[in-house]
Amino acid sequence: MANAFRFSTNMPALTGSMPEWRDRLRRIEDLGYWSVAISDHFTAGWKMEPVVAMTAALEATTTLRVIPLVLANDYRHPVMLHKSMATLDVLSEGRVEIGIGAGWMESDYQAANLPYDPAPVRIERLGESVEVIKGLFGAEPFSYVGKHYEVTELDGLPKPVQKPHPEVLIGGGSRRVLELAGASADIVGINPVMRRDRADGLALLDLTSKGVARKVAIARRSARAAGRDPDALRYHTSIRSLHITDVPGSKRWVSSMATEVTDPAVLADSPAVLHGSVASCVEQLRQRRDEYGLDYFHLGGDPVAAAPVVARLSS
């Protein structure tokens, strides 16, 4: 049986007054979104620290969940990240999901003078971090000895509301990250490969129908190899170009990762593009769930414009 759809949208930007910011969050909640998502960067104009913003968003709402898309592993020690997420899980009564990745934006590393290790090293470190975080959510004191982290008889507190722990999303586009996600995550984030030698605006080219199918297949094979049921996992992706054509006032929204892709054939082929009427978009998303297993979609841009699609598929 197919999973029910989930939809996230962007955390509101810090514009206007704080009461207005909270009202925008409550409006997203009323529109039926599952969660709000926030990125994790401190260069290129990014303003909000994700854990603090997630805390404020949870306090302003009652049912809306929060998810970072995604926390860069190298910016926080896993012991501290576990403590933050465990505390938020308890304070929100179980409305937290943990999105985490290996880190990729080189300007962040340069600005903070963090070593920008080769991708295999960063991904290896991410894998160890996920083991530590999940281990600390357990009932007993946890010890771990890895290449990058060591933990000795640490009782992870507070104990989580969600059992055995808040769902973990591992996001990325490379084979190594997708294999890690299939083996370790609850939610597999299907993303483009973020290489320093490719313009952000062309990342959509890595999310063709064949590309997405290949990425999902990698994660599913890895899940089976780890003794897990790949059908028990969720598969998440972000819509990079969105236009609901029959919603009054709706305008086409394009992420910075898709601005340089204008070929109609490429756009029509990509599961990361959603254009058309409400009825057409609903059918497209159903097909993507049937064909690729994608059931958790991030709809950036205008949450009001996409709300009719969310309402049809969340009911």
**The pair of three-digit structure tokens given for residue 21, joined into one six-digit string:** 């910011």
Whether the pLDDT of residue 63 is over 90: the answer is yes
Residue 301 banded pLDDT, cuts 50, 70, 90: confident
Q: Which residues contact 68 (CB under 8 A, 6 or more apart)?
A: 37, 38, 39, 40, 50, 51, 54, 98, 99, 100
pLDDT > 90 fraction of the chain, expressed in percent and rounded? 86
pLDDT tens track for 233-276: 999 999 999 999 999 989 898 888 788 888 888 889 999 999 99
* Better-scored residue on pLDDT, 202 or 132: 132
Whether the pLDDT of residue 76 is over 50: the answer is yes
pLDDT tens track for 165-176: 999 999 999 999
Domain boundaries, the chain: 6-314
Give yes or no for a contact between 99 and 68, defined as CB atoms under 8 angstroms apart. yes
Question: For position 196, what pLDDT does the model report?
Answer: 54
Question: For position 200, what pLDDT does the model report?
Answer: 63
pLDDT > 70 fraction of the chain, expressed in percent and rounded? 98
pTM score, two decimals? 0.96
Q: Omega into 36 within 30° of 0, i.e. cis?
A: no
Question: DSSP assignment, residue 159?
Answer: P
Question: For position 262, what pLDDT does the model report?
Answer: 83
Q: What CATH architecture is 6-314?
A: Alpha-Beta Barrel (3.20)
Whether the pLDDT of residue 204 is over 90: the answer is no
Residue 195 banded pLDDT, cuts 50, 70, 90: low
Question: For position 199, what pLDDT does the model report?
Answer: 47
| Angle, in degrees to the nearest 10, between helices 303-314 and 18-30 | 30
